[in-house]
Amino acid sequence: MPLTLVRGHRFFVEASRNSLSRLTHQLLPPREDISIRTFSQHSPKMAPTDTSAIERNRAIVISGPSGSGKSTILKRLFKDYPDKFGFSISHTTRQPRAGEQDGREYNFVTKEVFQSLVDEKGFIEHATFGGNSYGTSIKAVEDVAEKGRTCILDIEMEGVKQVANHPTFPRPRFLFLKPPSMEILEQRLRGRASDKEEAIVKRLKQAEKEMQFAESGEAPHDKTVVNDDLDRAYQEVKEFIVG
């Protein structure tokens, strides 16, 4: 069964989105038929009335702290299943950057269109960061499901809560990827040598919240995988996603 990936976006939004864009360009050929536009007026009436395709191809939510290994494991999954993955494109109200194309990196929409989708429960999860809003629409997941593909949602804690509590979106399967300990997580984050101290501290604080949530009765996770060995963790994740 084909799979598709949607990247979530609430903590360190742009870092996550940029990583997804790089992965998209690595795995998919360039789309020559898309022209660059400043903003599109995508119809706000995007909440699906028929979710039968999503019912048949249940979405899978993967969450976990920054540094837990989500990107590494998902890239490996893409490599092992090169023909089973596609990408759903999120909506955003921010202006396109140089080289970005509407419908490729994001669906660029006005604040009015975005708010209409929020009001109509057209997003399974959304957030505002740095004055710009980002969201994953039900329609984006529905379009993928109608092609017989399963959508993987890589999102953080607040997004997980929104997805789990959405009134009409068919319940996905939830997986939490957990680091062996906070000490090892800190070592991983510092080992990147790409983040400033302030960013590392924020990531660690967020990680504590996410791990506490994952261990609470409120968490919807169906499976938790401890990434203390990458090969073993990958096999567990693959078995959960692919079967």
Residues 6+ apart with CB under 8 A from 187: none
- Rounded to 5 degrees, φ, ψ at 159 are -65, -40
Provide the CATH number for the domain around residue 138: 3.40.50.300
Three-point CA angle 196, 100, 13, nearest 5° = 35
Residue 10 has pLDDT above 90, yes or no: no
**How many structural domains is the chain composed of?**
1
Q: Which band of pLDDT confidence, cut at 50, 70 and 90, is reported for residue 44?
A: very low
**Residue 75 is part of which domain span?**
3-242
Rounded to the nearest integer, the mean pLDDT of the chain is 84
Neighbours of 157 (CB within 10 A): 23
Whether residue 168 contacts residue 75, with contact meaning beta carbons closer than 8 Å, is answered with: no
Distances (CA, A) of 220 to 33, 157, 165, 198, 204: 40, 11, 10, 30, 22
**pLDDT tens across 217-231, in order?**
999 999 999 999 999
**pLDDT tens across 12-37, in order?**
444 554 455 455 545 544 444 333 34
**pLDDT tens across 67-82, in order?**
999 999 999 988 898 7
**pLDDT tens across 180-211, in order?**
999 999 999 999 888 899 999 999 999 999 99
**pLDDT tens across 114-171, in order?**
999 999 999 999 999 889 999 999 999 888 888 888 888 889 999 999 999 999 999 9
Query: What's the token pair of residue 168?
Result: 């009409």
